[in-house]
Amino acid sequence: MELISNWKPNANAPLWDEESNSEPRGPFFQELDIKHIKQIGPSCVPTTLAMLARSTGADVGPDDFKGIINSQSPHTWSNSLHQYGLQLAYCNQDLRRLEYYIDELVEHDDLFLLCFYSVDPPSDSDINGKLCTAHIVTLHRDKIIDTAKSGSFGVSIAEDYPRLSRQTKRIFRVVPFGHPRRV
């Protein structure tokens, strides 16, 4: 085994590494018509999942997802989307603010879920193990759909979204069910 003496770790990675020849190439969901749904109470995850499922023609709402997902378990989110032909795949990311990623995400011209902290996260969780509240929004092509906002305020141009200064918790690309990358 040859020792590589001048190797240095990479300081950065693309959000979505280039696809291999055997992997389906995106964009996958440019043509979806995603209709905004206003969340009721702290239900951004099931409301977002319902919006995605409805865009495939399903007649579902947030309550259809509440009993089958854990709001802190993206694996359950992805599993709940399988019957609609969708699944989630993790993207490379860290705690940087959304504004750091937004141009690269829009450049993919596809469908992503962006999770961010609602306040600057403390370095340690509270006594119940919770770090702080977080929120999830949908990025479809160049628009952000935010279930916490009402009416026309629920959809904005991605680069103009008012919460881009929030730190990233997770970023997912929505991919077709059966795609080799997944949560």
Give domain limits for the chain.
44-176
Token reading at 147: 């279930």
Residue-wise pLDDT tens digits, 13-28: 899 988 777 888 899 9
pLDDT in tens, 44-91: 999 999 999 999 999 999 999 999 999 999 999 999 999 999 999 999
44-176 belongs to which homologous superfamily? Cysteine proteinases (3.90.70.10)
> pLDDT grade, residue 126 (50/70/90)?
confident
Q: How far apart are CA 137 and CA 171, in angstroms?
A: 10
Looking at residue 160, its pLDDT comes to: 97
Residue-averaged pLDDT of the chain: 93
Judge if pTM exceeds 0.85. Answer: yes
pLDDT of residue 5: 81
**pLDDT confidence of residue 157:** 98
The bridge status of strand 168-176 relative to strand 111-117 is antiparallel
